[in-house]
Chain A
Amino acid sequence: MTPVVPPVVEVGDLVVRYGTATALDRVSLTVGAGELVALVGPNGAGKSSLVNAIMGIVRPASGRVRVSGRVALVPEGRQMFGDLSVDDNLRLGAWRRRGRPGARDTSRVYEVLPELTRVRHQRAGTLSGGQQQMVAFGRALMAEPDVVVVDELSLGLAPMVTAGLAEHLRSLNAGRGLAVLLIEQNARLALDLCGRGYVLEAGRIRAQGSADELARSAEVAAAYLGGPATTAEPGGSGPEGTGPDGTKRGAAKGGGTGPGGAVSGREARP
């Protein structure tokens, strides 16, 4: 359960308050180098507050946030620079690395996310939700991060689009050892993709463990997996082909969508 790799993100006893309201109450969490970690929980649990504290956007009341290496954010709601082009959105993702030679070269993003090449000169505000989420991905990658925090991958997106984005995350993780902290309300999606996870509720970590343990846990199943808890073997709801470390999982989700499939071009514009 404890990661054997050194952590890239280490959060300890973190407290975040807005005025008198406590959004996070002594939350601790780690993400190891190259690890995929899920953070699930209902609306208002404090997930985005944790994200903002990690990014240094919100100042914690107490506790520690330690990030070794670079962290980049795919923010909740995608948060495009709507009146700037896709290319400019990507370039601004390199702001922390400005001044370094080649920092603003967007070609490496188009290599990873070829779907964006076609719309590179379009204004980001005119894209579909799925395309915008991909721009948000690309913008984060421009920071050359060691870890990416994805705040609500699936929010407002069609399942097929989400499956494609999840596939991108998986291959970035496998291909270049990018660590990911995936925030999701769809626990099934998150636990399917990640080896390890945390459950946040009302500002507190309620459960943590390997994705299998969490998926099997009665509480989690009842609350987030939309079914009665199964205390025995993971039956129909448990994913197949889980390795002992819980990280190697098949691309079984998304209604048979193959790897990398069905992202751009097919979803309807809002």
Chain B
Amino acid sequence: MSDFLQYLISGLAVGCGFALLASGLVTIHRVTRVVNFAQGMFAVVAGLTAGSLLSAGLPHGLAEVAAVAVAGAAGLLVGLIATGRRGTSAQSALIVTLGLGFVAYAVEIMIWGDNPRSHPGLGGSVQFAGAFVQKQSFLVIGVTAVVFAALWLFFNRSYPGKALSACASNPYAARAVGIDVTRMGLVAFALGGMLGGTAGVLLTPMLPISYNSDVLLITNGFAAAVLGGLNRPGPALAGALVLGVAEAMVAGYYEAAYQTVVALALMLAIMIWQSSRRTALQEETAR
């Protein structure tokens, strides 16, 4: 029972990391209709940057915030390159983000080498209903809750948030009322970079990362985001938590090597079930 609780909470924490990454994918896709395959890179850059800043003597908090800002700048840069030119299609922008992810590998290896790195987070663990749980897990869960609440408020209650949604909803109408759709897309990319970066600085103390950790992150983040059609943060959050917990259970009770495979198989099953339900619904309404 205490093992179960321990796996559950660390699984939820990792799932929260995936959820933050996924929320960045969703934010960018909502506004620009671009699937950003460089999203995992933001987490890697932020995680590695935070480690370097901490070793350079910056205090906790400041180092992490600075690393998130760096990830935001990386997001802005990716957005500029992928969508800055007028009339770029979402498809070609997707290819550009994929390419930029590989370019980033070279830069990251140059700066940080190719070994996995970690940095200390909120050290220690607490005893919780008989289980020893890392304090960092609670930090990740808490920060994720705050970030999702803030995102919800921003998109559903604030005027600029509504304008961002409007760009995705109807770009032509957005232009007609004077919204600069290209610039709003860049705002979304910067925001997506910061969300990915937040995932990175929070996860790195729990899972050491290297330049190619982006594959694991984007795989899980994408699987979660697809649940909400890449447009809804709520289902993405739910999907990410399911993935995180499933992976922790597989790794804890069975074999760590299979955790991603099992979790993704689960995700695929949910997606197939979802799409078959959707098709049935469409047939129903078409009648």
Contact = CB atoms under 8 A, between A and B. Distances in A.
Given A92-B162, A95-B163, A84 B169 contact: yes
Contacts of B159: 91, 98, 104
Contacts of A204: none
A57 B174 CA distance: 10
Contacts of A139: 177
B204 to A, nearest CB: 36
Interface stretch (A4-12, A74-82, A213-221, A250-258): A74-82
Contacts of A93: 177
A57 B87 CA distance: 12
Interface string A66-94: 00000011010001111110001001110
Given A91-B159, A98-B159, A104-B159, A79 B166 contact: no
A96 B169 contact: no
A55 interface: yes
B88 to A, nearest CB: 16
B163 A92 contact: yes
B176 interface: yes
B33 to A, nearest CB: 14
A93 B176 CA distance: 9
Contact of A80 (B162, B170, B178): B170
B261 interface: no
A187 interface: no
Contacts of B173: 75, 79-81
B58 to A, nearest CB: 37
Given A79-B170, A91-B162, 6 more contacts: A72-B177, A73-B176, A75-B172, A80-B170, A81-B170, A84-B169
B166 A92 contact: yes
A82 B178 contact: no
B77 interface: no
B175 interface: yes
Contacts of B226: none
A96 B178 contact: yes
Interface in B155-212: 159, 162-163, 165-166, 169-170, 172-179
Q: Which of B169, B173, B175, B177 has the most CB of A within 10 A?
A: B177
Contacts of A57: 172, 175-176
Contacts of A143: 177-178
Contacts of A104: 159
Contacts of B175: 55, 57
Nearest to B181: A57
Contacts of A96: 177-178
A239 B169 CA distance: 42
15 contacts: A55-B176, A57-B176, A80-B173, A81-B166, A81-B169, A81-B170, A81-B173, A82-B169, A83-B165, A83-B169, A91-B162, A92-B177, A93-B177, A95-B179, A98-B159
Contacts of B179: 92, 95
A143 B159 CA distance: 15
A80 B172 CA distance: 10
Nearest to A85: B162
Contacts of B165: 81, 83-84
Nearest to B167: A81
Q: Which of B159, B166, B178 has the most CB of A within 10 A?
A: B178
B170 A82 contact: yes
A149 to B, nearest CB: 9
Nearest to A151: B176
Contacts of A95: 163, 177-179
Nearest to B172: A79
Contacts of A55: 175-176
A88 B163 CA distance: 9
B61 to A, nearest CB: 33
Contacts of A82: 169-170
A241 B165 CA distance: 48
Contacts of A92: 162-163, 166, 174, 177, 179
A104 B159 CA distance: 9
